[in-house]
Amino acid sequence: MEKLIITAAICGAEVFKKHNPAVPYTVEECVREAKSAYDAGASIIHLHVRMDDGTPTQDKARFKEVMNAILAACPDVIIQPSTGGAVGMTNDERLQPTELNPEMATLDCGTLNFGGDDIFENTENTIIYFGKKMIERGIKPELEVFDKSMIDMALRLHKKGYINKPMHFDFVMGVNGGISGELRDFVFLRGSIPHDATYTVAGIGRYEFPLAVAAIVDGGHVRVGFEDNVFISKGVLAKSNGELVEKVVRLAREFGREIATPQEARSILGLNQK
């Protein structure tokens, strides 16, 4: 079985200090949280950025500042910027961090009802546009899927040449408007991707660690972090992203999975070696 790649989603765009005081906003706080996760065993930092007051932004200059600071502290880590942005942003706003030529970036594969009147819009043309830009820039997309239909969309657009193989999926499970975080639905998604694809699972809230165990046992990979869950156990706030990663490392060891280094993660995912 391949070594386990752990991704740390350190801040997201929808979680704030009111949810957990350790959620990072500033450059220094992002470095602190990325370093805690990296030191604990994360190979990939899934990155959103904020202004110092916590406002989400896709500003290229802000991404560059944060990415450079993280790489100074964690020189070989894989930084995976989000192109999700925030509800209401244009495609080109959302794509700004890809202009920095990261190794990976997320590519959301469908539209989602986040709740109330908030719609996270990803039309087919948007997905095609993002896919073409990532191919042009040599960036491996992490295909974020919130439901089975989004896997089908990714497979269809692969056949049309907008997404390259080998594909890497991120099953985001337990989000309002998307698929549940139940084991039944994990098995459904897992069985719906190509045999030569890899996947990470991101369980939201209480689903984070049960789904991490499922992926560990199955041979997949795991994402944890404040973007998805701010608790280390029921009712107990995590002190850092590193504490969440440490729990996954302990679980992996219980099931005999070794943890991938950033270089080993690059090999598993087919990234260019640094």
The answer to whether residue 129 sits within a structural domain is: yes
Per-residue pLDDT tens digits for 88-102: 889 999 999 999 999
Rounded to the nearest 5 degrees, what angle is found at the Cα of 175, between the Cα atoms of 174 and 179? 60
Per-residue pLDDT tens digits for 261-272: 999 999 999 997
The answer to whether residue 274 sits within a structural domain is: no
What is the domain range of residue 116? 6-269
Above pLDDT 70, what percent of the chain?
99
Taking CB atoms within 8 Å and a gap of at least 24, the contacts of 14-18 are 14/227, 15/226, 15/227, 15/230, 16/54, 17/54
Residue matched to tokens 């990714």: 154
Q: Is pLDDT of 274 > 50? A: no
Residue 104: which H helix or E strand, with range? strand 104-108
Mean pLDDT on 48-52: 97
Q: Is the pTM of this model over 0.95?
A: yes
Say whether the peptide bond before residue 56 is cis (omega within 30 degrees of 0).
no
Mean pLDDT on 72-99: 94
Of residues 111, 59, 61, the one with CA closest to residue 85: 59
Q: How many domains does the chain have?
A: 1
Per-residue pLDDT tens digits for 130-182: 999 999 999 999 999 999 999 999 999 999 999 999 999 999 999 999 999 99
Of residues 154, 85, 150, the one with CA closest to residue 120: 85
The answer to whether residue 1 sits within a structural domain is: no
The answer to whether residue 213 sits within a structural domain is: yes
pLDDT of residue 193: 98
Of residues 195, 209, 141, the one with CA closest to residue 170: 141
Per-residue pLDDT tens digits for 181-240: 999 999 999 999 999 999 999 999 999 999 999 999 999 999 999 999 999 999 999 999
Mean pLDDT on 36-55: 97
Q: Please report, for the domain that includes residue 200, its CATH number.
A: 3.20.20.70
